[in-house]
């Protein structure tokens, strides 16, 4: 679990998610916001997959 919490890619994805959440709360929902959320989810999934791959490679 520590590998996930201290990974730079996951931390940057979570930080971007916080900024995106603030933007979503301030502005009305449009297709731009949905596209931003979709890209954020994709980046978070890729960051998690990278940590899993690195973890399995180290073993």
pLDDT tens digit sequence for 10-51: 999 999 999 999 999 998 989 999 999 999 999 999 999 988
Confidence of residue 1 (pLDDT cuts 50, 70, 90): low
- Domain span holding position 30: 2-58
Domain count, the chain: 1
Query: Quick one: DSSP state of residue 29?
Result: -
Residues near 14 by Cβ (< 8 Å), separated by ≥ 6? 44
pTM over 0.85: no
CA distances from 21 to 8, 33, 35, 57 (A): 20, 10, 13, 34
């Amino acid at each position: 679990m520590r590998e996930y919490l201290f990974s730079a890619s996951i931390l940057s994805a979570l930080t971007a998610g916080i900024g995106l959440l603030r933007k979503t709360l301030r502005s009305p929902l449009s297709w731009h916001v949905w596209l931003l959320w979709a890209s954020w989810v994709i980046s978070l999934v890729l960051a998690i997959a990278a940590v899993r791959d690195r973890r399995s490679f180290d073993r």
